[in-house]
Amino acid sequence: MNSSLESNSIFFRITNKVDSIIKKEKLNKQVGEVTIKIHDLYNCVLGKNIKIKFADITLCNSVNSQVFLVSSPEAEAISGAGAFIPSKKRLKFCIPRYHLGIPAQLDKEVAMFQLASTPSMKNIINKSSHKNSGVIYFAREGHLAQWQKAVYLLTGKNLPTTIVSISHKPANNVFTRESHFGSNPNLEGFNLRNLEYLYICDPVASGMQHIAMIEKLQEFNSLPKTVVVIAPMATKYGLLAIAVACKELGVNFIGGTCATLLDSNAPLRYYSPYPQSVDQVVDKDLHRFVRKHFKDVLHKPCIRCNWSATFFGGPKMPLEASEEELRSVGLSNKLLLDLCNNVSVDSAKSFGVYNDLIPYSTKLINQGI
């Protein structure tokens, strides 16, 4: 392994422990429904109030690791069962990796507002203020969450926010990579003497970069009391790794994500498919529905190909990259798109899940924007 500072991260020391917990301990999940008030920014499409599903999950009792999930048509379109989207005056089904560009951005934004509105997450936000909290986006993909905006729309609070330059670089370890800071984080707007809640926003695959960020705060003698990881897409493995690291550092851990706790493929823990276990989803009916149409193929492709590109890259780049990625697991875009085309509106209606697969962006486009 490299001898660089980044390679000395707690992450590499705890991986065996995380693997052991994954194998031995079951999730403790509580599922519920709640009616939330929709902000004026979205209610012309969604209405003033909507009912959403949520789950509070204990990943591991030994580290008291709580993760809050939201299931809604928007959350399922981002990191769940998928969505029906407009195509040539009809609706076609797509799994999240084919929900691209501005429509995906809009649904992700709404899903983050809904996550903020779930009872447990809203309780944390109500305790947060500019005096005791802050938001960190990672430069590559942290902006996907727009958490500062979600908190503001829900509560009117303007939390201090910064962007941290952190990425992966090649390394001689089983993960083939390590975290690397392009520059020291700028935390000028944060009250580091009283940091109660720190929201770290970025999709979670292995959890490596989030752990490096927390360790960097330790270097600054500025560890928060509670780390809240906000991730539109997140794996069970990565969230658990962050939770274990937080416990070692004496920090509380909370996670928030959309629809599912994704699986993650060893040894790299980078490729993140839709979960096989119904325990890792909020809506079991949607899990049953997509399993019927995709069988085990559903658990082979990553939930998205190049996560940033599917939101910001336009249609060409993510699809071209997708072809190479799918080939490595014996699939192709054509095979997956053919399976998507076999999912009909009538089938969704017969399963009683049709309305759960019509997200904000589809309703907006059908209204003529």
Q: What is the 3-state secondary structure (H, E, C) of 296-322?
A: HHHHCCECCCCHHHHHHCCCHHHHHHH
pLDDT of 264 reads 93
Q: Which carries the bigger pLDDT value, residue 254 or residue 368?
A: 254
Summarize the confidence of residues 247-259 as an average pLDDT.
97
Least confident residue range of 60-64, 216-220, 224-228, 269-273: 60-64
Query: What residues have CB less than 8 Å from 305, skipping those under 6 apart?
Result: 97, 318, 319, 321, 322, 325, 326
Distance CA 229, CA 210 (A): 8
Average pLDDT, the chain: 93
Torsional sign, CA 275, 276, 278, 284 = positive
Label residue 4 by pLDDT band (50, 70, 90): very low
Asked if the model's pLDDT at residue 240 lies above 80, the reply is yes
The structure tokens 């040894």 sit at: 267
* Tokens linked to 362: 């589809």
pLDDT of 369 reads 52
Least confident residue range of 68-72, 145-149, 322-326: 322-326
pLDDT of 225 reads 97
Asked if the model's pLDDT at residue 3 lies above 70, the reply is no
- The helix (H) or strand (E) run that includes residue 256 is strand 252-258
3-state secondary structure of 118: coil
Q: Which carries the bigger pLDDT value, residue 327 or residue 5?
A: 327
Q: What percent of the chain has pLDDT over 90?
A: 78
Closest residue by Cα to residue 12 from 218, 167, 219, 178: 178
Label residue 176 by pLDDT band (50, 70, 90): confident
Distance CA 205, CA 338 (A): 27
pLDDT of 18 reads 94
- Angle between helical axes of 119-127 and 147-155 (0-180°, round to 10): 90
Query: What residues have CB less than 8 Å from 316, skipping those under 6 apart?
Result: none
Distance CA 80, CA 29 (A): 17
pLDDT of 1 reads 34
Distance CA 10, CA 218 (A): 12
Kindly report the number of other CB atoms within 10 A of residue 114's CB atom.
29
The pTM score is 0.95
Q: How many CA atoms lie within 13 Å of 177's alpha carbon, on the beta-carbon side?
A: 16
Label residue 8 by pLDDT band (50, 70, 90): confident
- State the amino acid at position 333 in one-letter form: N
In the 3-class helix/strand/coil scheme, how is 9-77 assigned residue by residue? CHHHHHHHHHHHHHHHCCCEEEEEEEEEECCHHHHHHHCCEEEEEEEEEECCHHHCCEEEEEECHHHHH
Whole-Å CA distances, 103 to 109, 199, 256, 290: 10, 25, 22, 21
Label residue 81 by pLDDT band (50, 70, 90): very high
pLDDT digits 0-9 by tens, 29-59? 999 999 999 999 999 999 999 999 999 999 9
Least confident residue range of 242-251, 307-316, 333-342: 307-316
pLDDT digits 0-9 by tens, 112-137? 999 999 999 999 999 999 999 999 99
Q: Are 199 and 147 in contact (CB under 8 A)?
A: yes
* Tokens linked to 74: 């928007």
pLDDT digits 0-9 by tens, 217-234? 999 899 999 999 999 999
Q: Which carries the bigger pLDDT value, residue 115 or residue 182?
A: 115
Q: Are 97 and 303 in contact (CB under 8 A)?
A: yes
Q: Quick one: DSSP state of residue 274?
A: P
* Chain CA centroid to CA 226, Å: 19
Distance CA 118, CA 55 (A): 9
Closest residue by Cα to residue 283 from 261, 303, 259, 262: 259
